[in-house]
Amino acid sequence: MATDPPTPPRPALAFESVRVTSEDGAELLRGVDAAVYPGSVTVVAGPSGSGKTTLLRLGNRLEVTSGGVVRFHGRDVAELDPLELRRRVGMVFQRPVVFGGTVRDNLHVASAAATDEALVADLARVGLAGELLDRVADDLSGGEAQRMCIARALLTRPEVLLMDEPTSSLDPESRRGIESLVQVLAGEGLGIMWVTHDLAQATRLGEQVVVLAAGRNADPDGAARYLASGAETEEP
């Protein structure tokens, strides 16, 4: 007896023919398609200036589209409250965003009512010791600070995490540590969109890899050549 084919997974975050035009008329994105699935890592790669960060920032309305639509669980993000959206679609930036005070103070930015017990569990989730709660956040190493920022983003219990070249300023050991952490988080069901200019990293991490060229999706052959080249300056 024939069985029905499995239902394809539904993206948590979908970018459908999105366009972005700057105030001076420059086309930053030109009809780009991409998707982020629960429990999976989507990597966005491409040369500098290809639109990677602009695409990422559309995901929680730090940028808005000039055309096309971004959907979160099927709903146009333009219909959602931006603050609520940003709790459900978190963001980790290229350089750790560290506020004054202790690690505890930094985590309370995301959840002011969180108990120390909850914060210790949150730190443990990203591989940091609970003893760091009382550490002055400015004294953290680069890798520790980025993990703290990921912990802070996770405190709102997001369903998608947007990560803009989060390891570009880290040493190799810290970089691999963050990569391993992200793979664990995806295994726990989090959808992740990761921007990188590191092509080896793109192939290590990406279950889906979106390659952009001059604000457009690269054609499949061009994307494959670009990823295989390992040369970040080569246009797809």
pLDDT in tens, 1-21: 556 556 667 999 999 999 999
Q: Are 210 and 217 in contact (CB under 8 A)?
A: yes
Say how many C-beta atoms besides its own lie within 10 A of residue 64's C-beta.
Answer: 13
* Phi, psi values for residue 213, rounded to 5°: -140, 115
Compute the chain's Rg from CA coordinates. 18
pLDDT at 148 over 70: yes
Quote the pLDDT of residue 232.
Answer: 47
Separation between Cα atoms, residue 63 and residue 158, nearest integer Å: 19
What's the one-letter identity of residue 199?
A: L
pLDDT at 233 over 70: no
Burial 21-47 (b: 16+ CB within 10 A, else e): eeeeeeebbbebebbbbbebbbbbbbb
Separation between Cα atoms, residue 87 and residue 61, nearest integer Å: 12
Span 22-36, pLDDT tens digits: 999 999 999 999 999
Quote the pLDDT of residue 169.
Answer: 82
DSSP sequence for 211-231: EEETTEEPPHHHHHHHHHH--
* β pairing state of 89-92 and 13-21: unpaired
Span 42-65, pLDDT tens digits: 999 999 899 999 999 999 999 999
Which residue ranges make up each domain of the chain? 13-97+157-228
The rounded percent of the chain whose pLDDT value lies above 90 is 81
The rounded percent of the chain whose pLDDT value lies above 70 is 94
Separation between Cα atoms, residue 133 and residue 123, nearest integer Å: 9
**What would the CATH number be for the domain defined by 13-97+157-228?**
3.40.50.300
Span 178-230, pLDDT tens digits: 999 999 999 999 999 999 989 999 999 999 999 999 999 999 998 999 988 87
- What global pTM score does this model have? 0.90
Quote the pLDDT of residue 234.
Answer: 42
